[in-house]
Structure 1
Amino acid sequence: MARVREFDETDALEKAMGLFWQKGYSDTSVRDLVEHTGVAHAGLYTAFGGKRELYQATLDHYNLTYGNMLFGPMEKPDACRAQVEEFFYFILRAVKSETFKNGCMMCNTAVEFGNDTLGNSGSIDVLAVASANVERMTTALENALKRALADGEVRDDLDPVATASFFCTVFYGIAVLSRSKTNPKRIEDTIDMALATLD
């Protein structure tokens, strides 16, 4: 009879995600993960594989948790300007409440790994996950901005594709500023300036 695992995998994944999000991949040791999750090394290995596989699992969990929350509304067929504005103001609220005090985990991943790939050592390429996140964000923004343009909610010469790329860049700048503990008022001013380009 297979032995029943004595821990909640979702809870362990959530705790591991929080630790990786705070410290990054390189600065998080397996011992850190064991202490933070309360799960023995053997238990983590059995459930998720090695450290790299666990990191991949936490990125996927982050995507499901925050990606759907942030991008989902803008991906709907009837998404328009209101969803774009809420996207940014949700981020601002998260910064002020310190939910995003460690920035964006996808942004952190891209910064940490740079041009290196875990795929070179036979593991999953986490940069591909971060790149897919950028693509999803940009596509979601494009979707909402195109509808906003068609509905006359933005200036009639707006380029939805270029603006979506600009807004994605603004988002990642905000993520870095949030992690560096910048005054939230500066982030609020940045968001207001970005949204002003729609008029």
Structure 2
Amino acid sequence: MLIHPWDSVVEAESLAFVRDNQFGHLIAAGRGRDVPVVVPTQFALAGDRTVLLHLARPNPVWAAIEENPKVLLAVGAPWAYIPGAWRAEPGTDPRLGVPTTYYSSVQLTCHAEIVTDDDGKLEILRHQLADLEPDAGDPAEMPRLLSGIRGLRLAVEEVRGKFKYDGHRDAAFRGRVAEGLARRGGPGDEAALRHLA
């Protein structure tokens, strides 16, 4: 992903974003494939350098990971389309403004370890449930669940974050866009307003 200096995010802020948005796309390139395998998935960030998740045994991603354990986990948040008129400079034709899209995106490059033993899968499930559903029952009491899944432990090797919100523009410009977002109130607009503030 292209990251301009004004869109770049420090690692700590990127990881905080991932912790707050624990759903993404796991991408496994495998070897000699025409396209990578892409799997939308819930996950849990354990510390700053480990991602834990589980997937169904028949998932096609397992073969790709066995071919090549280097994977990418892409996490994105709500996006907001910004019409060109909102970005036009005062006194110019609004039709000449350049539209864009505001969004946050973090990509974690990882080394994947497939977890097949019951104790390892239970560790992953317990960690995910403690984070997402603390009052859930013990997954050890669901034996069919364990036999139907495999776990993944991802060791994070690189963190790349991009928060695209016109960070290189002045406060007046960003204020005009914020006014448009506040008036429109569409999906993703509230998140974009928080970033502009």
With a CA cutoff of 8 Å and minimum separation of 6, indicate the structure with the bigger relative contact order: 2
1 or 2, which has the higher strand percentage? 2
1 or 2, which has the higher helix percentage? 1
Calculate the TM-score normalised by the size of structure 1.
0.29
